Amino acid sequence: MTAATTAKPAKLPREEDPRNPHHRLAALLDEGSLELITEDDLSGMLSAIGTVGGTKVVAFCSDPTVMGGAMGHDGCKAVVAAYERAMLEQVPIIGLWHSGGARLAEGVLSLHAVGEIFHAMTKASGRIPQISVVLGPAAGGAAYGPALTDIVILGPEGRIFVTGPDVVRSVTGEDVDMLRLGGPEPHGRRSGVVHVLTESEAEAIGRARTLAQLLGNQGTLVLDQVEDIDLARSLPESVRRAYDVHPLVDDLLDDGDVVELHARWAPNITTTLGRLGGRTVGVIANNPLRLGGCLDSLSAEKASRFVRMCDAFGVPLVVVVDVPGYLPGVGQEWDGVVRRGAKLLHAFGEATVPRVTLVTRKSYGGAYIAMNSRSLGATRVLAWPGAVVAVMGAVAAVRILHRRRIAEVEPDIRPQVEAELAAEHEKIAGGVEKAVEIGVVDEIVEPAHSRRRIAESIAAELAYPPVRGQHGNIPL
**What is the C-alpha to C-alpha distance for residues 468 and 300, in angstroms, rounded to an integer?**
22
CB-nearer residue toward another protein: 246 or 449: 246
Side-chain half-sphere exposure of 362, counting CA atoms within 13 A: 23
**What is the C-alpha to C-alpha distance for residues 192 and 190, in angstroms, rounded to an integer?**
6
C-beta of residue 472 within 8 angstroms of C-beta of residue 126? yes
CB-nearer residue toward another protein: 164 or 267: 267
Q: What is the dihedral of CA 182, 190, 114, 10, to 10 degrees?
A: 20
CA-CA-CA-CA torsion sign (45, 183, 292, 329) = negative
C-beta of residue 382 within 8 angstroms of C-beta of residue 425? no
- Which are the contacts of 421, defined by CB distance < 8 A and separation ≥ 6? 398, 401, 402, 405, 406
- Residues that are catalytic: 140-141, 366-367
**What is the C-alpha to C-alpha distance for residues 188 and 264, in angstroms, rounded to an integer?**
6
CA-CA-CA-CA torsion sign (364, 435, 252, 248) = positive
Q: Of 391, 394, 372, which is closest to residue 441 (Cα–Cα)?
A: 372
Q: Shortest gap between Cβ of 288 and another protein (angstroms)?
A: 7
CB-nearer residue toward another protein: 267 or 431: 267
- Count of CB atoms within 10 A of residue 464's CB? 6
Q: Count Cβ neighbours within 10 Å for each residue of 373-402 and write b for 16 or more, e otherwise.
A: bbebebbbbbbbeebbbbebbbeebbbeeb
**What is the C-alpha to C-alpha distance for residues 467 and 352, in angstroms, rounded to an integer?**
7
Q: Residues in the site for another protein, rule: CB under 8 A?
A: 238, 240-242, 288-294, 324-325, 327, 329, 331, 393, 396
CB-nearer residue toward another protein: 148 or 388: 388
